[in-house]
Structure 1
Amino acid sequence: MLTLADPKIRRIPLVENGERLISIDGLNARIIVDSSKENAEALGYELCFYIRETVGYKLVEAVLQIPDNYAFLVKESLRPQNLQALWFSDYLRSILEANLELPEGDAVALAARFVAPPSVAGHPTGGAVDLTLCDLRGYELDLGCAYDQDEKTSNGACLSHFDQLSPEASKHRRILFEALGSVGFVNYPFEWWHWSYGDRYWAAVTEHPHALYGAVADF
């Protein structure tokens, strides 16, 4: 599985296309943003549900592929670059403190499985979105583990192709993956909820010659 620590990702050129940001809220009645206090507190900052214009259009295309009684619940999208850097450094530090004999390079690779290094992160570009399936009232469906649980906490269920899911969770992941994959999103295989288009990881996976979106300076 290709991780965000792979040098191949960092070497992807960036040709910023200058595409504008648009709000996710209001794109489609079956694309719901989780603006709850609980979600904001869990992530630790005031969420900004904006994405690049093409990413928004692709989300609408994707939601039209899922059954009519399901919806997308967006948990996070655009994230400040300075927050991305803080999260990565904090997570890396926790790994190093818990594994004193681990070489730093190995610790970086381990950290990048769950928190992207800021130089290659998709969220600060407006090209990445974290989402799950819900019913039409906004209640989350079973996809095997809670959103944002890491590999240890979820006992591996956060991995996209975890093979010990219940039949219900397997069904829901299949619906989510088929819809998003059909319109050009790529998934980060360590987080079933993380999908991107136009960032460096997307370019590496799809063998596009360059990324389309760099980190958004101000929003």
Structure 2
Amino acid sequence: MPPLRPWSPIPIDDAGEPLDELPATLWRLEPHPYQRLGAPYGAGASPFRLRRGVIVRLKTAQGLLQQQQPHWRLAIFDAWRPLAVQAFMVRHAFREACRERSLDPDAAGPAQAAVAAEVDRFWAPPSPDPATPPPHSTGAAVDLTLAEADGRPLAMGGEIDAIGPISHPDHYAEAPPGSEAADWHVRRLLLVGVMAAAGFAQHPNEWWHFSHGDQLWAWRCQEPQALYGAVAGEG
């Protein structure tokens, strides 16, 4: 059993907002990466949905970005995830991480346990307990990056979902001025700046993950309760 997150004890008082489809003004990175892997979303279920209030804040963040970089835009990698998809992706991430280290993912040993612990730092367990929902299952969390006006993602110094220190938001903070790595750090700072100004909190381990209203957000913003719990896709 993975350890609870520091935000897990925070109570949830769900605001009851529905999931809405992202508007056309917010760029989607398609084909959707998890659907392409065969993740079980179910017939007609769209991963590009978020709680209504979260979408409003995303649009605000994009406006703030374009005040500073008029030819850039936010690019949405992933949004809402049902629990079945969360479970599928945790298994996939573990097996891929084992493969990269030439380990048998079906064996049980200290090396596999170490991989599982590392994966757990980036992928929330697919808890069915309504008191501890995975952030993406609440419709309050979004994975995103910066892109050119035509939707081409900008280099950020690491791929979304990469397992390891390269994904930490400040990984390039000590990069030499004028280097490519320093540019990556500036872009990460710009992303977190506009998202924070719109009311989002960043995952401490992931430069791409932001949320508003879930338990992680409440923990990072020192709010007494979360606004969104797990939500079914038909909402």
Query: Is TM-score (shorter-chain normalized) higher than 0.5?
Result: yes
Q: How does 1:62-211 map to 2 (within 5 A)?
A: 62-66=61-65, 67-88=69-90, 91=93, 100-101=109-110, 110-119=118-127, 120-151=133-164, 156-163=165-172, 164=175, 166-211=181-226
TM-score by length of 2: 0.77
AA partner of residue 170 (structure 1): H
In structure 2, the CA distance between the partners of 1:5 and 1:143, relative to structure 1 (3 Å rule), is farther
Query: In 2, distance between residues paired with 1:182 and 1:113?
Result: 26
1:43 deviates by: 7.6
User: What residue in structure 2 maps to residue 13 of structure 1?
Assistant: 11
The count of corresponding residues between Structure 1 and Structure 2 is: 208
CA offsets, 1:2-38, max 9 Å, x none? Answer: xx94453221111111011111132x3xx20112266
In structure 2, the CA distance between the partners of 1:195 and 1:38, relative to structure 1 (3 Å rule), is closer
Query: In 2, distance between residues paired with 1:20 and 1:200?
Result: 18
In structure 2, the CA distance between the partners of 1:44 and 1:184, relative to structure 1 (3 Å rule), is same
AA partner of residue 158 (structure 1): S
In structure 2, the CA distance between the partners of 1:43 and 1:70, relative to structure 1 (3 Å rule), is farther
AA partner of residue 60 (structure 1): K
Aligned partners of 2:118 and 2:163 also within 8 Å: no
Give the unaligned 5+ runs of structure 1. none
The reply to whether residue 23 of structure 1 matches residue 21 of structure 2 is yes
TM-score by length of 1: 0.82
Aligned partners of 1:5 and 1:109 also within 8 Å: no
* Matching residue within 30, 33, 36 for 1:35: 30
In structure 2, the CA distance between the partners of 1:39 and 1:92, relative to structure 1 (3 Å rule), is closer
- Alignment RMSD (CA, Å): 2.8
Give the unaligned 5+ runs of structure 2. 99-104, 128-132
In structure 2, the CA distance between the partners of 1:144 and 1:42, relative to structure 1 (3 Å rule), is farther
